[in-house]
Structure 1
């Protein structure tokens, strides 16, 4: 059974169809692995094992992922009747309603939801160490962070509890945990996956649902399962030429790829591990026949970006806290929040409605300047997935906001700009540092071009198969 658990989700689904394992046996094996490993890793905040097993018989025989176990990030991925915390003590006792379209489509595809995964409070930082549930530990070294905000999902997948888990990304929250846990993490194009029916957009369009997986084909197939626009969505993503699963193995042709090992903003310290990771990835891409050279969009170095991005995020966190207060019938006080989020709410109180609109208009201009670089004939940008080396738990201090803000700003320097532009970007596990910790590299495509990312990522995976020793 361990061999079946080591398969990716596509492989597990095939094993069930071929009769090599029953859906119940597969789910029970995943449950046993969670129970064996999660005491140390703390990836889950809620388990629904009995309910999951009871749901197996109702899954149609022809569901493509019938019986494949998965986990839902406890932020955004709402499931009817299940607890919902968003990493916060303030959510205690609340349940998720209504169920998200993405969750409904996962269940229609045959996935079995075993529980919900840990996340920092409101997903507003890059490490999963919430006061409410404690820290999630990295399977490669329990002293290290699994990243955030999808850290619980990433730790669970990296440890082999499940083949894939849901995630979301508002400033790097899919790509950063994927980098730190040695996984594939693709942030889709804005609106590729609907956030309905509970909301129209997350963080003013910055946040996108997605997955953390161990293989490119799992990422492609999972996104196919949940993608789509629903009536009432504020906007949709450009239509893809076909299913993303069909792009796996397709020749991407000779692409014009540019790479950066130093951030053009000039204030992000260069880490040797990141430089080595990008340099090696560039050499690999060149060996695969692509046109690879240094370069990148000039707009990426704009020193004003961080202030506008941060203001919009703070305003959205404040709105989330206000909505939570209304839902429970009592305003949320600053003493109920972690210091980081209390500070964001306080900062937002100093922003007028006009300030918010002006910030979004600045981002509109930034997005156009960034898009012009891809429009000039570039296909992909290669950069680090994370702006800092793998870091231990506690490195983002909860009680030193100035230090935490500075370190977080460096960490998201290569990810948050593409939340602002809405472009798809994928982190791939192509490097390890001297201590054996994973270091991801990131490829960014033009708006709407997940198909190109999947083709290239699969080409890379075929040339250099990804290894997942923590899942053994």
Structure 2
């Protein structure tokens, strides 16, 4: 195996090679290190490499998991690993060490993954571009002048550049799907409760948060979902289990679907970029050719009311998180420890009342019921993942001093409004790299399914992967070049 072959293999293939004895976990780890050294200086996606773990790898002990020996990266927030740094992209958390493995981390290890380092995130995972005072800017391997998305931007850039085939991410408003779209990857946000957040978290930000991975193949996504979608005693609720493994959906008979599709930007006077519209139309045509019923339709809701409620819901969750972080680290929340927009966020949060949270939950409940009614008629909703192509660095930086929290949230939502909806409703949604702009930037297209129906997303995604393949697209910054 050489670096080109390593970078072409998805996680399932690498694991099969390990199990057949054609490559060892330690050899794969060395390829990982070589890849980091080659491209990370250009993209700034990997914060830390666990060299001690590489040296300790025992090639005689091979996991029987689906990802045996496969190099893997953890996002610098969310699921943590005992004894490893987890700084949440913030000066406030600099030097923080996780006290225990999260349940998801344990499941990653049981799947056979070799956890080899951390990836960048914007401060406390707020923002659609990965830029922070602590670690700087993470660059898009497709174009170093534009954002690679956030908040799982380091994960996306690492996978897109070929450092690892799959990486951990989290999604509270699109933070898996946004960078997946910007970097030409697959990003699935599972249904609420599909992947455990324990032991430290039950639900967070009124149930909007889910953790999972970013990948290059639908197969890796399906196998990983089988590996980590395991309920744990003590979780707030246990959702309905699939009737068969998600991996079996890859080649399952295709069912005719009724799919609503829209290019409505859902807010203000902005519009969806014409190149994204063109890609949407191509996907609609492909779905029609596959026998699906495509109907141009969209849920209707009061955007301003919805945005206000989302801002309040996020603020309540972040206020608690910032206070706990400051206390645990023995630091004060100030301009010396958090970025300007985050400080505005904190100040806004302090003024909220229980009545504000009650009203926000009332509005978000109306939003969920509205979407529930819509999905009584349709199996899926097809939308752009982002309304605009990846934009230059700086626009979505929380280091800006000319925007406060509310204006910053509006700025982000104008670009990623279609992703946040699935977080509010709890429904599963996936972005697929089904298009490319004239300037060679990836275009992600999102499918949102009914609650608990990740299997339907896997079936459709597998079909589109065959009919509109993306695997030959390699970004300019890539370990194989």
Q: Specify whether residues 56 and 141 from structure 1 end up closer, same or farther in structure 2 by C-alpha distance, changes over 3 A only.
A: farther
CA positional deviation for 1:311: 1.1
CA contact (8 A) 2:266 2:417 kept: no
Distance 1:366 1:404 in 2: 22
Q: Deviation digits for residues 246-280 of structure 1, max 9, x if unmatched?
A: 11121231110111112244433231122112111
> Residue 59 of structure 1: CA displacement?
4.5
Where does 1:86-105 land on structure 2 (aligned, <5 Å)?
Answer: 86-105=88-107
- Which of the residues 198, 204, 207 maps onto 2:206? 204
1:334 Cα offset (Å): 4.6
Residue 161 of structure 1: CA displacement?
0.2
Whether the 8 Å CA contact 1:72–1:166 is kept in 2: the answer is yes
Alignment partners' CA distance in 2, 1:407 and 1:388: 12
Contact 1:5 1:30 in 2 (8 A): no
The aligned residue for residue 261 of structure 1 is 263
Match of 1:217 among 216, 219, 225: 219
Shift of 1:330: 4.0
Runs of 4+ in 1 over 6 A off after TM superposition: none
Matches of 2:251 and 2:402, distance apart in 1: 47
What's the offset of the Cα at 1:57?
4.3
Equivalence for 2:354: 353
Q: Post-superposition shift, 1:390?
A: 1.5
Give the 3-state SS of the residue equivalent to 2:284 in structure 1.
helix
1:469 matches 2:470: no
- Distance 1:66-1:363 versus aligned 2 partners, 3 A rule: same
Q: Distance in 2 between matches of 1:456 and 1:64?
A: 22
Alpha-carbon distance, 1:335 to partner: 4.0
Tell me which moved more, 97-106 or 160-169.
97-106
Q: 1:5–1:26: 8 Å Cα contact kept in structure 2? A: no
Match of 2:327 in 1: 326
Q: How far is the alpha carbon of 1:429 from its aligned partner?
A: 0.2
User: RMSD of the alignment, in Å?
Assistant: 1.6
Correspondent of 2:253 among 251, 264, 278: 251
After alignment, is 313-322 or 163-172 more displaced?
313-322
Write out aligned runs for 1:144-223 (5 A).
Answer: 144-223=146-225
Please say which of residues 178-187 and 269-278 is displaced more in the overlay.
269-278
Native 8 Å contact 2:196 2:230 kept in 1: yes
Q: 1: distance between equivalents of 2:410 and 2:309?
A: 15
The answer to which of 249-258 and 138-147 deviates more is 249-258
**Offset of residue 331 of structure 1:** 3.7
Contact 1:252 1:452 in 2 (8 A): no
Kindly state the Cα deviation for residue 182 of structure 1 after the two structures are TM-superposed: 0.1
Q: Is 1:8–2:10 an aligned residue pair? A: yes
Matches of 1:133 and 1:277, distance apart in 2: 34
Please, what TM-score do these two structures have when normalized by structure 1? 0.96
Q: C-alpha separation between the residues in 2 aligned to 1:340 and 1:12?
A: 42
Unaligned runs of 5+ in 1: none
Counterpart Cα distance in 1 of 2:55 and 2:245:
30
Give the one of 452, 456, 463 matched to 2:460. Answer: 456
Q: Does structure 1 conserve the Cα–Cα contact (< 8 Å) formed by 2:130 and 2:138? A: yes
Q: CA deviation at 1:455?
A: 0.3
Structure 2, unpaired ranges of 5+: none
1:371 aligns with 2:372: yes
Task: State the Cα distance separating 1:233 from its structure 2 match.
Answer: 1.3
The number of residues matched between the two structures is 470
CA contact (8 A) 1:59 1:66 kept: no
State the secondary structure of the residue aligned to 2:168. Answer: strand
- Per-residue CA distance 1:133-168 (angstroms, 9 max, x = gap): 000000011111110000000000000000000001
Q: Deviations over 1:44-90 (max 9, x none)?
A: 11211232341444854423321100100111020110001011011
Give the aligned partner of residue 141 of structure 2.
139
1:445 aligns with 2:438: no
